[in-house]
Each structure stands twice: as structure tokens, then as C-alpha cells.
Amino acid sequence: MLPAQHWAYRFSIGADDIDSITNLLLEKETPLRAVELATEIIKQRESKIRQQLRQKFQNTKIYKPADRFEVGDRLTFAQFDYATASVVGLRTGQSADLSPIRIATVEFDADGQRHPDQSREFVVEYERDHPLNNTDFNRHPSLVDTDYTVDEILSDPSTNIVEQVNDALEGNPDLVRIAGTWFVRELMVDVDIGSLHLAEAVLDMHGGGPLAPERILKEIGGLGDALMSLQAFSLNYAMNEDERFEEVGPAGQVLWHLKRLLPRMVRQVPSILQYRAIDYDRTLLTREMRQLEYDLDDEHSPVTSSPPEDEVSLTLTYPHRRVGTLPINSETRYIFPAAKTPRIAITIVDAIDKEEYPCWVVHEFRYIYGLAAIYQKHHLPVGAYVYLNRTEDRSRIEIEFDNYRPRTEWIPLVERTENDRLRFETAQRAIGADYDDLIIVGVKDLPEVDKLGNEIQTKRVTLSELLRSLLAELSKQTPQGTVHSKVLYSTLNILRRCPPGPMFATLTSNPDFEYVGGNYWKLSS
């Protein structure tokens, strides 16, 4: 953190700053990122502050009661936020014990000028014990401020200079911004329709993308003799204006993809992941229910958490295992890169064998798509524990599991019955990773169960009816006839996407269901 009096906390962009930015872009003839422009402004402001401080404190002495001063001396008072003043008089006085003391009359400065109406008296040549005599005032804190680097000023969470630069330049018609980079409009390279057709062809040859603008430029033969950074900026601007292309890079990185070749699940939510919001009374949820809701961390739950220090863990639920996705929930949102675009192309790295998988961060739909091959390779069951880790490159995320050589285990299995319900039994399946035994569930005939889920949505079966049906079947699996909330949540989401909150509220408010404690439920007799 910077010292409280640092100028960056009071920073605001002025007309002179905008002129400096424009002149810098014209002088360098190359696009610059907002952080680079902010860096230049900070350097100019630091230089100006240093000059002001040199003028203000030139030839001043730090006031200490023990020191001797003469009329005309310039003083700095550390105890008054380093205000400056001039000694205008000296006289002899008496202390509280009637001993003689020397007193200096000073006039404090305001707006760089001495003000007689702001005069005060201070003891001088006072060599007895005094707090100010025992304090080391070697440097003015504002001078110490200038020891801070530009990076420290920019990274301080209480400064927003980069944001101010972007906001101030946004309304300037002479400047253009693409992916956080600015340039002068009139100096941009012309990109004709032929070049855009070639860019489309290049992306088509590479499966639609994603490709960086520099790669596209290389394959289309460039845009003349301009600097590559300017060619890339100009191409980015032209492609951004063309509906055929979509920018899919994480913040700070530009990648292009053909819209028509984006994966279907990146453009459209699969039915099994579609959550139609349910109104419910959250006051019905007990503390125990809220804690389980927090532990499950469904992406549609109103759960918040702090940024994780290291890895993030989660439990793989049926809907995400079924279609090869991961949720963007209260914790994983800190792991995956942010961007202003609805879809971001990333790489998921299997931490076990280092194999890489192209995936998509779909913030709009709250999931990561493209992990089906990883799940199948490791024989991951529903309920598997998944661990995610950042890398130095925010567009590359490592995934890991508590994996082991696949072995046959007995797990709960569901299938569709003739009367359009789910039947539960246990069966053997090959499992390759550790899992939550209250979440794990297998499906005997995936197409039929998918079809049943779609029919339930079409018939608008109520949540109460669905929970009643599931509890009736699940309760047959235990002698007590009780079902754990996790089991109910896991199986409910096979047929209908629903976070824990609405499920708990429905169970609590309906007399058909009885809570028996410990997160267990049963049907009322």
C-alpha cells in the first residue's frame, strides 16, 4: 500500500494528460496499451510532484524544540503534516516551572505564501526531554513517496489510473481502442474487404480458430510495410467491425474465431444445464441447509467466497459430467480468466499426463466447455473430486483428480421405468478417481433418461411432484426410509437443473416432506 498522502489516491485525468497521450501515440506511431499510457502519465506526474516538493522544501529545516533558529529561517513541521513556515520573531519566555525558555514566532505558508494571520509560537533551544526531540525526522514523507515504482502505484488496489485513462479517452473520436490498446484513428493501416476475406479463409482452414492476429497476418501476407503491432491493431479493428468474426481471447490477449464455426455448446446452453429460475423464500433455509448450500457451491446459488490462495476444488455433478463441462461458481470464477467477450478460448492441461485440451470459458452461461475427453480418459464418475490450478499464463489451467487405476466398484444406478419414473439399484462400474459417495450416481440408459428429463420439462412437472417421486424411490434404498440432501440434490439434477436453495425451500414448505435432522429427509407418513 502507498502512504495515505500519496498523490495517486487523488489522481484525475486532465486535458493536459489527454494531450500528452495523443502526442505520445503520434510520436511513437505504434498502438499502446492503456497501462503503458498510464505509466507515461504517472512518470510525468511524478516529475511534476518532485519539482513542487523541491520548491516547497528547499532550504527548510525540520523543526525540533532542541534546535536553534534565526529570524528568516524556513521551517518544516512534521507534526502538522509537514506544513512550512518562516521564523518572524524570537523572544525570551518562561516555562511552567518558571525557568527561562526561548520562543520563536512563525508564520505558516498557505498557497505558497506567508500568512501573518496564521502565526504561532514554538519553543526553541529546549534541550530537555521532549517527544519531538526524540523522533527521527530525516525526510519529508512526500519525498519518500517518490521512491515508489510505477508498478507499485498501478497495482495499489485504491488507485484506478488505468481505468481513468480508458474512461477519459473513450469519448475522443480521434482515438480507437481495441482489446485495451489505443491508437490514433488517422494513422491506422487500411484493411480492405479482400484482406478480410483472406482472414476468413485462414480461420476456416484452422477449424474456425482461435488464431492470433499476427498468425492471420503472416498467412495472408501482411498489410504492407507498417510495424507488425500497427498491422495487428488495424486488423483487429476491422475484424471487430465484421460480423463474421468473434474475439475470444482472455483479457490482454486477442484471438479470433469464426462465429459460424463456434462449438454449438459455446453458443447455446444444453437442456440439461438450463436452469429456469425458481422464486423461493430463503428465510425457510436453516443454518444447516445454508452450510450445505455453501459446500455444494452450485453455480446458480447465491454463494460468495474470497479469492482462493492456491487451488480450487469442486465435486463433479451429473449435468456437468454428462456434457463435459465445469461450473463457474463462487470459487472457480477466480481461476478462469475474465474478458469483456461472452466466450473465451483457453487450454486445460491434464496435470497427470500433461495432455492439453482446447476448452471454452462461457461466462454468459456459467460453465467451461470441452472436458468430456478428460472425463472419459480417467473414468471419472459423477461426484469425482476435481482440482483446478492457475498457471503463469491465465489462459492455461491445470486440472487434477484423486485418480487411480480404473477398478470395478458398486455404485448407485438409475434407469427409466415404464411409468416414467426413475428406479434405483446398485451396479458395478469402472471408476478411476476418488469421489463423494453421496453425489455419485450412474445412469443405465443415457438417451432414455435424457428423454425423460425433457418430457418432465415439457409437461411442467412441479418441483414438489418431482421431489416426491424421487424420495419415494430413494427411500427404498435405506432401512430408515431417509434420504440425504446431497443424494436428493444429485439425483434431482439428472432430471431437472436445480440448485439446492429452491430444493430446500420446497422440502421445508411442503407437509409431504419431513426433515429428520443431519441433512436427511423422508416422506411424511
Q: Where are the domains of the chain?
A: 7-56+145-177, 65-136, 188-262, 408-523
Q: What distance lies between CA 380 and its chain's CA centroid? A: 29
Please check the confidence at residue 399 and state whether its pLDDT lies above 70. Answer: yes
Q: How far is CA 73 from CA 59, 99, 118, 124, 126, in A?
A: 8, 25, 17, 13, 17
* Nearest CA among 400, 406, 380 for reference residue 388: 400
- Let me know if domain 65-136 sits in CATH 2.30.30: yes
**Interval 431-440 mean pLDDT:** 91
Q: 90 with 73: CB under 8 angstroms?
A: no
Residue 134 pLDDT: 74
* Nearest CA among 54, 137, 66 for reference residue 104: 66
**Spatial distance between the Cα atoms of 24 and 341, rounded to a whole number of angstroms:** 29
Please check the confidence at residue 140 and state whether its pLDDT lies above 60. Answer: no
Q: What distance lies between CA 371 and its chain's CA centroid? A: 22
Q: Do domains 65-136 and 188-262 have the same CATH topology?
A: no
Chain-wide mean pLDDT for the chain?
86
Q: How far apart are the first and last CA of the chain?
A: 62
Q: Which residues contact 494 (CB under 8 A, 6 or more apart)?
A: 318, 319, 414, 422, 441, 443, 449, 453
pLDDT per residue as tens digits for the range 255-297: 999 999 999 999 999 989 999 989 999 999 999 999 999 999 9
**Interval 192-205 mean pLDDT:** 95
* Nearest CA among 196, 199, 197 for reference residue 216: 199
Please check the confidence at residue 514 and state whether its pLDDT lies above 50. Answer: yes
Task: Specify the residue for cell string 526553541.
Answer: 124
Residue 149 pLDDT: 73
Identify residue 361 by its one-letter amino acid code: V
**Spatial distance between the Cα atoms of 399 and 316, rounded to a whole number of angstroms:** 12
pLDDT per residue as tens digits for the range 42-86: 787 777 777 777 777 777 888 888 889 998 888 888 778 778 888
Residue 326 β-bridge partners: 368
Considering the domain 188-262, what is its CATH architecture?
Orthogonal Bundle (1.10)
pLDDT per residue as tens digits for the range 470-513: 998 888 888 888 999 999 999 999 999 999 999 999 999 999 99
Q: Which residues contact 118 (CB under 8 A, 6 or more apart)?
A: 107, 108, 110
